[in-house]
Amino acid sequence: MKIGLDIMGGDFAPKATVLGAIEAYKALSEGQQLVLIGDKEQAVSILQENNVSPDHFEFVHTTEVIGMGEHPTKAIVQKPDSSISVGFKLLKEGSIAAFSSAGNSGAMLVGALFSVKAIPGVLRPAMTTIIPKLKGGLGILIDVGANADCKPEFLVQFGVLGSLFAQHVYNVQNPRVALMNIGEEEEKGNILSQATYPLMKESNLINFTGNVEGRDMFGDLADVIVCDGFTGNIILKLAESFYVVTLKKGLKDEFFDRFNYEQYGGSPILGVNAPVVVGHGISSPEAIKNMVLLSKNMVESALVDKIKLAFQ
């Protein structure tokens, strides 16, 4: 299995990404090969500084980098030799089985949609994040920003995508899927959530358990919480800001520790024809390692095939 990593992506690339690749390498099994996509010379130099043989890795040299602030669609088109563009080319060809990057997340999304494309039947691929539960364990929030405006059918599909991800990658049996809303009762909410509820209730692809509210985010009412990408992105960033506050305040607690994005590695883009993971811009080597391992888990669990089957 070849696992692709964009070593130019993220605020601390290529140093943090190459150091992360070293850690990921140590965790991989035989037959699992990391493909480092980016400036080979820089990568080799960082490896040598750390007394790690470049022979442990494959390299695909690229000459361009898509910056964090660049317009995703334009950048993908105008920088064909960027690490992100090349990564998706390799992914589409099947030269790598998964691709991950802590770079421009919009470019990652556009790249995924343009190259490996949405799985037939999936109306809108979506991005997920992990939400720690107070009692232990974790939940999944989907979508966290890929789709700012959604139709009810999109949200139902997010439930299916999140459910399959929870089941096959995090081994949650029969995941409980809930709709993020502003009241518990079926008739509560905005037009979107009111229209979505009955569709989710009817779907036999998910174990729908009803509405949850903002206050239920860290409880144990659901394993997968579905919302539009506007709401999900605000929730994600608000939750992150709480974590940052607890860090700043020096508050130590096991629950808050589990907010640390480094442990989860990144947000998968679910519903495209190959495993794609987008890391946090500020990814440390630890985060990069876990991003790579998450993309590997997605390959091993054959998540994409499971999704294809569900949407047949």
Considering the rule CB under 8 A, would residue 77 count as an interface residue with a copy of itself?
no
Pair type for strands 276-278 and 138-142: unpaired
Do 22 and 47 meet the contact criterion of CB atoms below 8 Å apart? yes
Window 147 to 176, contacts with a copy of itself (CB under 8 A): 148-149
Window 86 to 145, contacts with a copy of itself (CB under 8 A): 134, 145
Residue 219 CB partners (closer than 8 Å, separation 6+): 133, 134, 212
Number of residues that bind a copy of itself (CB under 8 A): 38
Considering the rule CB under 8 A, would residue 245 count as an interface residue with a copy of itself?
yes
Task: Give whichever of 30 and 253 is closer to a copy of itself, judged by the CB atom.
Answer: 253
Which of 63, 81, 242, 282 forms a contact with a copy of itself (CB under 8 A)? Answer: 242
Which of 22, 236, 293, 303 forms a contact with a copy of itself (CB under 8 A)? Answer: 236
Do 90 and 60 meet the contact criterion of CB atoms below 8 Å apart? yes
Distance of CA 2 to the CA centre of its chain: 19
Considering the rule CB under 8 A, would residue 238 count as an interface residue with a copy of itself?
yes
Considering the rule CB under 8 A, would residue 300 count as an interface residue with a copy of itself?
no
Window 15 to 74, contacts with a copy of itself (CB under 8 A): none
Strands (E) located in 155-261: 176-180, 207-212, 224-226
Considering the rule CB under 8 A, would residue 235 count as an interface residue with a copy of itself?
yes
Task: Give whichever of 27 and 134 is closer to a copy of itself, judged by the CB atom.
Answer: 134
The CB-of-190 to a copy of itself minimum distance in angstroms stands at 4
Burial class (CB in 10 A: 0-12, 13-18, 19+), 56: middle
Task: Give whichever of 234 and 309 is closer to a copy of itself, judged by the CB atom.
Answer: 234
Side by side, the strands of the sheet bearing 276-278 are 58-61, 33-38, 2-6, 98-101, 276-278, 267-270, 126-132, 138-142, 224-226, 176-180, 207-212
Do 292 and 20 meet the contact criterion of CB atoms below 8 Å apart? yes
Task: Give whichever of 4 and 125 is closer to a copy of itself, judged by the CB atom.
Answer: 125
Do 177 and 224 meet the contact criterion of CB atoms below 8 Å apart? yes
Window 203 to 232, contacts with a copy of itself (CB under 8 A): 213-218, 228-231
Which of 77, 244, 282, 302 forms a contact with a copy of itself (CB under 8 A)? Answer: 244
Rg of the chain in Å (alpha carbons): 19
Considering the rule CB under 8 A, would residue 186 count as an interface residue with a copy of itself?
no
Which of 51, 202, 253, 312 forms a contact with a copy of itself (CB under 8 A)? Answer: 253
Do 111 and 76 meet the contact criterion of CB atoms below 8 Å apart? yes
Which of 67, 81, 190, 198 forms a contact with a copy of itself (CB under 8 A)? Answer: 190
Residue among 164, 239, 234, 168 nearest 205 (CA): 164
Give residues in contact with a copy of itself (CB under 8 A).
134, 145, 148-149, 180, 182, 189-191, 193, 213-218, 228-231, 233-242, 244-246, 248-249, 251, 253, 255
